[in-house]
Structure 1
Amino acid sequence: MAEIKQLGVDVKDELAATNKERLFLALGWGVFLSINVYFLWGVPLPLLPNIDIATYDRLIDPFRWAASVSIAVTALVFAVASLVKLFEASQAKLILVVGALLFLGGFFIYIWASAVSPMAYLFLMAGLLIGVSNGMFFLLWGEVFSSFDAASVMYVLFFAGIISGSICLILLFIKSVVAYIVLGMLLPVAIGTLWSALKTAYERQAKPFVATTIKGLRAYPWRPLICVTMLGFVFNAMREVSFVDFNGPAIINMFSLLGLIVVSFVVVGVMKVTGAKKPDIERLYSPIMLIIAGCLIPVPFLDAQYRIVFIVLISCAYLFVVTLFKATCANTSQESALHPFCVFGIGYTGVFGSVALGTWVGMVPREAGGENSTIYIIGIVLVAIYLLAIPLVLMKRRRKSSVIVAMDEDQLSFCCERLARRHAITQSEQAVMELLARNMSYASVAKELQLSENTVRTHGKAIYRKLDVHSKQELVDLVTAEQTRGL
């Protein structure tokens, strides 16, 4: 009893520490997003006033295209590298240093090209460097998020949305030269916060880097990834289509940022009232898709005023879903044996791959011009509606969960005990394993055993590693097989 009381005290202390860390992480992630968004969303060039859409296409689009593609490629390279176990804990900060140097190089090339030599190839080079560095930063932040419980990650991500949206909105209304000076000052804050957060992540986790195998990829949230990539393609394509209506991205960006702030405020408020829950993109995607698809149909036939309303709507939907997806990736890494670099690497490959594809497709109508432009927009709308429907079809093909047939609690405990002896699983880990084998959630296991959720996750990772399984479903299957072996 005394031990249980002490655990309760430890849980309270842990929650108090987590609340402080939430604010710290939200600030760091929000500042990083501000830098990322200001660059990649296509802000007008500094030191080049009155830029028109033709100049924008000639100079800025190569930068944005190169940045999106290089983030996706970098994420994919690191995801594959994590499968072959090229990383150790000590290498994360080295990756951070390399990423910071690449970003500085790209930043100065961008400023030089803007002020002195506005050449497309210089912006392309800057995009490549900034994209690679941002890809590294995204993955490192993913590892940080993977060390926290789902509730904390949700709070951090959406509170950071308020911070980043507000900063970028302010930057839009000041001179671009001043804005880039401010971004240069914010960069050390973002890097310093990430450096400190990585150290904290290693201290919180018994094993910061966990094993990943091809077999373990079955635990990956593939359907949520497809939802995000389909919606991301439509979002970026329609943003590009709308640029011609407003001679550039400035107005579109302003309304998109307002949407980000409003959505983040609403979600944080709802979590405060109802309590934070695990992200469930699949349940939310269906109504979002139906609303977006319905609003897509009139886009080719109505004027710019309608399009800006639609952009605000789809901005809110996409930014909400992509934020939930980041929380989903963190939760997947916590509950399985998937390396955070692998989980977030695959995710960002899809997210930024859809950004690049949507950007390219959305440019086609404004390059065509005239009546051809309307025809292309109609084609994009039809393709978009078709793509949005794909996740709905895949959701109906859920894999049926296997269950333990004709096994009472004594039989289950006996099977788990045999597995524990065979694989050197401790007594406390065995207690967690038995409850997980009943398909109980981590939160339910924590409540049943009067432990913190983080402690249960740590035991879960150790159990998965020792049993060479990668998800709760594989654990259930293994216990079922152990029952059959004993018959």
Structure 2
Amino acid sequence: MAEPREKLIEIPFAFTGMGVFRVWTETVYSNGSVPFPSQESAGFGFASFNLVAAITLIACAILSKRLVTLHNKRWASPVTAGCLVLSTCLNFASLYTPEHAAALGAPAVVLGGVGIALIILLWSELFSCLNPLRVGLYFSGGLVVGALILWLFKGLSLPWLWVCTCLVPLVSIACLKRAYKLIPHNERPRTAWNKQAIPWKPIAVVVLYSFSYGLCENVFGDSLGIHSGFGCVFVGLFVYLAICWLREGFSFSFTYKAACPFMIASLIPFSAFLPAGGELSAFFALAGYTLVLIAIMVVMSNLCYQHGFNALYLFAAERAARLLSVQAGIGLSEALDSASSGPFPIEILVGTTASVMIALATRFFLSEKSLTSSWGTALCKVDMRERGSGERGRIGAKCSQIASSHGLTAREEEILFLLMMEKKPAQIEKELYVANSTVKTHIKHIYQKLEVHSRKELFDFMGIEMRSA
């Protein structure tokens, strides 16, 4: 009985804050369980919210050179929290003064869209300085924590729901501040700018899957929303437990390989022959989409972590594409449904369209050999004699080149990168949640494949100057 408990990896609550802010999105805009007059009668609902957030993200991507690093900007946290709290108050106020719904709806959706875009980028910057295993662990754990909070919110009376929803962005920002304190200063996001082209494959996958997910309109009408549905909780809990049990043996390729059958299953019209068929379709759709989100989060974070891509630019572009694609899918589904004389032909058309998109997205995923691949952009040749703010990206690119040419496994490449960042075996053990003996075995294999015999020889082979003896 003691062994299973020992296998569980404790997640500092601060790092689940990315799941906490999802509570705000579902409570105020994406679920519809609370009929805010500011959205329903005034027409400033989920579609408008997504559009404002996407525009804000695009603006942040364009201005990213000036905005990085966002977490160091003194105005970022208070503006973010203020926008979300004010948007909450305006939406809830419309319940008590419906005659002012039109006047309250426009500022509410603008403040909410801007606030959610900023908090997404703040958390994305944080995750960009974590290794893939920690990203997967913390992100999946955050999904579960966010869903549990949302379940608790379902039983609150309206005044208490208002108060608690106002507290959510404040708690998330507080978690963000605390999480940064747990990260060594030299590992926090930098203002480095990678001049390589944006990796297009992860964004293409997000667009295709998000559009397909938007076509599954029944998910948005469920009593549990997109962040609290059973599919989301199931996948989040499963990935967390799988990482705990398998640790270095866990492969993130599982997430995108499993996503395809889940999404395909969601297109089966279960409601036609099962009493709870709609809920089953929603479960499959949400499970598949959540698996994709975990995979994309790991891939995008690793591009920043290892290859030096600017997190603000990369995540802003990805999230804007995601929001617009989901909304496009919802819009097409609604348009086809209103134009249909019978549901069956439309279901075939929607199912075929979504299946093709899911197959394309899976093809993009499978075209990359590993998590540390370039994902659609050629990694530039690097001069390791250069030092400065872009050093991390150059080291990551060099490690990828060496791993490819000398047959290193994905885990060996990750450990090589950490060695080049001058991490000691004990630090690598702690960071990757593996035994010290396992780390030493991997290092031995790296030495053998690169034909070196010491740490100094390894650094000389890589063309990197050791800063410590």
Which TM-score band (shorter chain)? 0.7 to 0.9
Give distance in 2, aligned partners of 1:121 and 1:148.
43
Please list, as runs of the form range in 1=range in 2, the aligned pairs for 1:355-374 lying within 5 A after superposition: 355-364=326-335, 367-368=338-339, 371-374=341-344
Residue of 80, 87, 97 corresponding to 1:99 = 80
Give distance in 2, aligned partners of 1:391 and 1:316.
16
Q: Residue 438 of structure 1 corresponds to which residue in structure 2? A: 402
Q: Residue 23 of structure 1 corresponds to which residue in structure 2? A: 12
Q: Residue 45 of structure 1 corresponds to which residue in structure 2? A: 34
Distance of aligned partners of 1:91 and 1:454 in 2 relative to their CA distance in 1, 3 Å threshold: farther
Give distance in 1, aligned partners of 2:78 and 2:184.
18
Q: Residue 314 of structure 2 corresponds to which residue in structure 1? A: 343
- The code of the aligned residue for 2:209 comes to L
Contact 1:59/1:123 (8 A) holds in 2 = no
Give distance in 2, aligned partners of 1:431 and 1:339.
15
Residue of 245, 257, 268 corresponding to 1:273 = 245
Mapped pair 1:262 → 2:234: yes
Q: How far has the Cα of 1:299 moved from its partner?
A: 5.7
SS at 1:356 equivalent: helix
Q: Residue 174 of structure 1 corresponds to which residue in structure 2? A: 156
Residue of 300, 310, 315 corresponding to 2:281 = 310
**Residues 380-433 of structure 1: per-residue CA shift (max 9 Å, x gap):** 22221222122244457669999xxxxxxxxxxxx99xx555x369xx999999
Is 94-103 or 58-67 further displaced after alignment? 58-67
Distance of aligned partners of 1:300 and 1:33 in 2 relative to their CA distance in 1, 3 Å threshold: closer
Distance of aligned partners of 1:394 and 1:58 in 2 relative to their CA distance in 1, 3 Å threshold: same
Q: Residue 35 of structure 1 corresponds to which residue in structure 2? A: 24
Contact 1:241/1:363 (8 A) holds in 2 = no
Give distance in 2, aligned partners of 1:322 and 1:349.
14
Give me the CA root mean square deviation: 4.0
Q: How far has the Cα of 1:144 moved from its partner?
A: 0.9
Q: How far has the Cα of 1:313 moved from its partner?
A: 1.1
Is 124-133 or 336-345 further displaced after alignment? 124-133
**Would you say how many aligned residue pairs link Structure 1 and Structure 2?**
403
Distance of aligned partners of 1:372 and 1:108 in 2 relative to their CA distance in 1, 3 Å threshold: same
SS at 2:207 equivalent: helix
Please list, as runs of the form range in 1=range in 2, the aligned pairs for 1:421-460 lying within 5 A after superposition: 423=386, 437-439=401-403, 440=408, 441-446=413-418, 450-451=424-425, 452-453=427-428
Residue of 138, 146, 152 corresponding to 2:128 = 146
Q: Residue 451 of structure 2 corresponds to which residue in structure 1? A: none
Give distance in 2, aligned partners of 1:115 and 1:393.
50
Give distance in 2, aligned partners of 1:90 and 1:155.
22
**Residues 293-346 of structure 1: per-residue CA shift (max 9 Å, x gap):** 255143685566322211111111111221232222211101112111012112
- The code of the aligned residue for 1:223 comes to K
Is 284-293 or 312-321 further displaced after alignment? 284-293
Q: Residue 47 of structure 2 corresponds to which residue in structure 1? A: 65
Residue of 201, 205, 208 corresponding to 1:227 = 205
Q: Residue 162 of structure 1 corresponds to which residue in structure 2? A: 144
Distance of aligned partners of 1:270 and 1:311 in 2 relative to their CA distance in 1, 3 Å threshold: same
Q: Residue 215 of structure 2 corresponds to which residue in structure 1? A: 237
Q: Residue 170 of structure 2 corresponds to which residue in structure 1? A: 188
Q: How far has the Cα of 1:200 moved from its partner?
A: 5.2
- The code of the aligned residue for 1:384 comes to A
Give distance in 2, aligned partners of 1:207 and 1:292.
34
Q: Residue 381 of structure 1 corresponds to which residue in structure 2? A: 351
Mapped pair 1:197 → 2:161: no
Q: Residue 467 of structure 1 corresponds to which residue in structure 2? A: none
Contact 2:192/2:310 (8 A) holds in 1 = yes
**Residues 144-190 of structure 1: per-residue CA shift (max 9 Å, x gap):** 11122222222111111111111111212333443222212333222
Distance of aligned partners of 1:334 and 1:100 in 2 relative to their CA distance in 1, 3 Å threshold: same
Mapped pair 1:331 → 2:302: yes
Give distance in 2, aligned partners of 1:318 and 1:302.
24
Gaps of 5+ in 2: 1-8, 374-380, 432-460, 463-469
Q: What TM-score comes out, normalization by structure 1 length? A: 0.70
Distance of aligned partners of 1:387 and 1:96 in 2 relative to their CA distance in 1, 3 Å threshold: same
Identity of aligned residues (%): 15
Gaps of 5+ in 1: 1-18, 49-54, 244-248, 403-414, 457-478, 481-487
**Residues 218-258 of structure 1: per-residue CA shift (max 9 Å, x gap):** xx2x32333333222222321x2466xxxxx3525399522
Give distance in 2, aligned partners of 1:108 and 1:135.
18
Give distance in 1, aligned partners of 2:15 and 2:187.
20
SS at 2:12 equivalent: helix
Give distance in 1, aligned partners of 2:83 and 2:362.
40
Contact 2:38/2:104 (8 A) holds in 1 = no
Q: How far has the Cα of 1:71 moved from its partner?
A: 1.8
Is 390-399 or 119-128 further displaced after alignment? 390-399
Mapped pair 1:251 → 2:223: yes
Q: Residue 450 of structure 2 corresponds to which residue in structure 1? A: none
SS at 1:438 equivalent: helix
Contact 2:129/2:189 (8 A) holds in 1 = no
- The code of the aligned residue for 1:388 comes to I
Distance of aligned partners of 1:121 and 1:329 in 2 relative to their CA distance in 1, 3 Å threshold: farther
Q: Residue 117 of structure 1 corresponds to which residue in structure 2? A: 98
Give distance in 2, aligned partners of 1:302 and 1:181.
42
Give distance in 1, aligned partners of 2:12 and 2:350.
41
Contact 1:289/1:389 (8 A) holds in 2 = yes
Distance of aligned partners of 1:358 and 1:93 in 2 relative to their CA distance in 1, 3 Å threshold: farther
Distance of aligned partners of 1:312 and 1:206 in 2 relative to their CA distance in 1, 3 Å threshold: closer
Give the number of the structure whose residues are more often helix, by fraction.
1
Q: How far has the Cα of 1:279 moved from its partner?
A: 6.6
Please list, as runs of the form range in 1=range in 2, the aligned pairs for 1:83-98 lying within 5 A after superposition: 84-88=65-69, 91-98=72-79
Contact 1:63/1:126 (8 A) holds in 2 = no
Contact 1:279/1:324 (8 A) holds in 2 = no
Distance of aligned partners of 1:30 and 1:268 in 2 relative to their CA distance in 1, 3 Å threshold: same
